[in-house]
Structure 1
């Protein structure tokens, strides 16, 4: 009896092990970051993109997981000749996503090296085509975004048959070749100096023109101001002469006495003036006696 029970236990254990192996070969899990491609004897039969637990035919069907996330690929440095005959060593990278797992598997297989080699050659060809029509300053300026968009569109069009979508292509580094870096930098410096000198010359010409216009306007304003001043001065002197003449006609004796007193104040104001005059000099007549009586004003 013990032998029978022992044989039954071994058979049950073997059956359990076989069941575990069959169950393990039947069930598989699909995560949220991947898509499962089920193949039967190497030929794809279905695509599973729903995360969770799934089943397949054991020992007949296989499951190939394909990552659905953004996949970065580094593009090795490539020497590119630009439109202005300058050379750049361009180091780029690309971001792609698998959008058609079946076409992707049929085109390059499940290994990442298959898509990598095709992507690298496609991106390098597009870089040579697009950058070959651009100058160095365009690559180093804000136009780089437009350049990279054009490269991305070209790569997308060429990689459409592989079941992938190129989300982005970017230049990581763009360096001058070592053998002609110094010459190119010197030429760029000379070009910048020439542009700076031209800008300075144009600024100096503009400044001279502005100064000349300002000087001309200043001369015109001063001439007009002097003319107005002379005219006003002449009008004032004319009015003063008329007032003096009117005053003199009203009382010539008083006017003569007043003018004499003004002369006294001008001469003797400092207190140190000396006059050598004869006694009969008319300048001192008001100091020698009272002024003559004023005549009656004319009617």
Structure 2
């Protein structure tokens, strides 16, 4: 074979290879494809595998068939009580009708802009009808369900389905947070003052009751002491009277010893008396019998 023929054969093989590579394409399991002919969709392929198209006339557009995410920027929105709150929401969706998706938005970036606007509008509407406590209690789930339902109703017009819509977090603006903190602190200070006042009142009542009880106990004790003292004095006088009746001299001696003990018992008393004073009559010699 001549060199010219070999060159022509090589060119033909190369052309066939180029045509074959242009005619074949692969659809992966995570993809779905729209075949376009001169810009117009002619076929939708969702099954994975090797596929064919008309070279140079048809081209393919790939879309992901997995669950995709939509995370629009956070918003500062007013609540029903005119308080403002920063809300961060996100959504999960899947492309179920590539043809409708292509007709309405064509690219995922376009969908994110349009669906993000719908999501933000739904969130704004619900926040305007909710209170802050609704987002901090079990009512938060009901708010998210209403938002999800609103967004899901618009999803078919883009060829997608909404898997989930969530409120990621809700924060108060710095100014609002400070005012809420100040109000909470004022409430706690007022509550503490009330508790201290109630405690002080209870303290005064307990002290008054204790003082009344103490006064009564002391009065009862003094009365009982006076009674016992009187009974003791009566018994003592009776005993002394009996002793005096039995031995008058011994009784006088006992009374003198008791007087000595009271007058001289501390060892620091100085008395100046005549030696023949009646007070010392028992210091002399014992009387002779």
Partner of residue 26, structure 2: 28
Cα 1:20–1:167 change in 2 (3 A) is farther
Matched, 1:15 2:13: yes
- Report if the CA contact (8 A) 1:91-1:172 is conserved: yes
Deviation at 1:70, TM superposition (A): 4.3
Instruction: Measure the CA separation in 2 of the matches of 1:62 and 1:189.
Output: 58
Instruction: Measure the CA separation in 2 of the matches of 1:191 and 1:285.
Output: 93
Deviation at 1:267, TM superposition (A): 0.9
- Report if the CA contact (8 A) 2:33-2:62 is conserved: yes
Coordinate RMSD, CA, aligned: 3.9
Deviation at 1:115, TM superposition (A): 2.2
**Equivalent of 1:153, from 145, 152, 156?**
145
**Equivalent of 1:168, from 166, 169, 175?**
166
Question: TM-score when scaled to structure 1?
Answer: 0.70
Instruction: Measure the CA separation in 2 of the matches of 1:17 and 1:258.
Output: 155
Matched, 1:219 2:208: no
Partner of residue 50, structure 2: 55
- Report if the CA contact (8 A) 1:66-1:110 is conserved: no
Matched, 1:112 2:112: no
| Greater CA drift, 190-199 or 265-274 | 190-199
- Report if the CA contact (8 A) 2:87-2:167 is conserved: no
Cα 1:43–1:132 change in 2 (3 A) is same
Q: Provide structure 2 residue ranges, at least 5 long, that are not aligned to the other structure.
A: none
Question: TM-score when scaled to structure 2?
Answer: 0.72
